[in-house]
Amino acid sequence: MISAGDFRNGVTFDMDGDVFQIVEFQHVKPGKGAAFVRTKIKNVITGAVVERTFNPSDKYPSAYIERREMQYLYQDGDLYYFMDNETYENIPINKDKLGDGFRFVKENMDVKVLSYKGVVFGVEPPLFVELEITKTDPGFKGDTATNTTKPAILETGAEVKVPLFIEEGEKIKIDTRTGEYMERA
């Protein structure tokens, strides 16, 4: 059992016969009245996202989510193919199940495929990835204002903001949860 006061991003629980995953949460303690937890929860089977508030003392049974290590192979239209690292079985997963962090995944990279009772509902990329910059504007000499960034296109096609000193062809480290530049690789 998990109480609503212990909700964190990514936590899964069973409510009214459906399995939900916390997308966003906020503990609210108003000046008057009781505290509550404001959340955005996603039904892992249907993909529907709903906003809901909970009393921090509400308790729900935890849902067991299977996380299998798989390797991303290739894309064919809206289907993305993954290989199970233990059985070498290829599994197609629809584009709408991949999530926002998948834009930082390139071919032959290991990811975690999330499923509940055999139904795949998401893909977790590694927390940090090293990718090469394929296109960015050059930085200008003397342009040294603090925390100034410029857009850069990565080898996966994703766009991120990088510091002015980063050049095309460099490898950088990206946090896949936030999509932010971390450091040079």
Spatial contact of 56 and 27, defined as CB atoms under 8 Å apart: yes
Q: Residue 54: how many CA atoms within 13 Å on its side-chain side? A: 23
List, for residues 15-60, the tens digit of each pLDDT value. 888 888 888 888 888 888 888 999 999 888 777 889 999 988 889 9
Intervals of CATH 2.40.50.140 along the chain: 66-124, 128-184
User: Which pLDDT score, from 0 to 100, does residue 178 have?
Assistant: 83
Token pair 């903001």 is found at 161
Domain 2-60 part of CATH 2.30.30.30: yes
- pLDDT of 73 > 90? The answer is yes
Residues 79, 83, 87, 89: is their CA dihedral positive or negative? positive
Q: What is the mean pLDDT of the chain?
A: 86
The CA angle 72-182-21, to the nearest 5 degrees, is 55
User: Which pLDDT score, from 0 to 100, does residue 6 have?
Assistant: 86
User: Which pLDDT score, from 0 to 100, does residue 70 have?
Assistant: 93
User: b/e per residue, 170-183, with b = 16+ CB within 10 A?
Assistant: eebebebeeeebee
- pLDDT of 81 > 90? The answer is yes
List, for residues 154-184, the tens digit of each pLDDT value. 998 889 998 888 888 889 998 888 888 888 8
Intervals of CATH 2.30.30.30 along the chain: 2-60
